Amino acid sequence: MGMVRKLLNILNRCEEGVQPNDITFICILSACSHAGLVDEGMHFYASMVTDYMISVKLEHYTCMVNLLSCADHLQEAENMVMAMPCKQHVAAWMVLLGTYRIHGNVEMAEHIAK
């Protein structure tokens, strides 16, 4: 958890002239997911767009789907997948499908697989 907190402190350096980019946010969102920091991940996801004017890419959606799924926010994760501009992004769908499988929700896994 300490390494995740160090990573999240990267944004403090923005005041020193270091500007995060889309890759920075992929790392941050992935770290939040692995550490179970849902609120922080949601904050950084919103901040990426509103504060730093970084366009959301498919990798960001996948990180968010993983973050929400791992925290058992399955409906929010599915809503995120449905909101993606490209519905055929396999990685995000696979994350969601895997989560339903892990949670034993066969009905939803079948629905997603279709």
Can you give the residue ranges of every domain in the chain?
A: 2-113
Contacts 24+ apart (CB under 8 A), 90-98: 91/58, 91/62, 92/58, 92/61, 92/62, 92/65, 95/62, 95/65, 95/66, 95/69, 96/65, 96/69, 98/69
CATH class of 2-113: mainly alpha
Q: What is the pLDDT, as a whole number, of residue 87? A: 66
Q: What is the pTM of this model?
A: 0.81
Residues 6+ apart with CB under 8 A from 98: 69
| pLDDT tens-place string over residues 86-105 | 766 788 888 888 888 787 77
- Tell me: pLDDT of 50 over 90: yes
Each residue's pLDDT tens digit, 34-49: 888 999 999 999 999 9
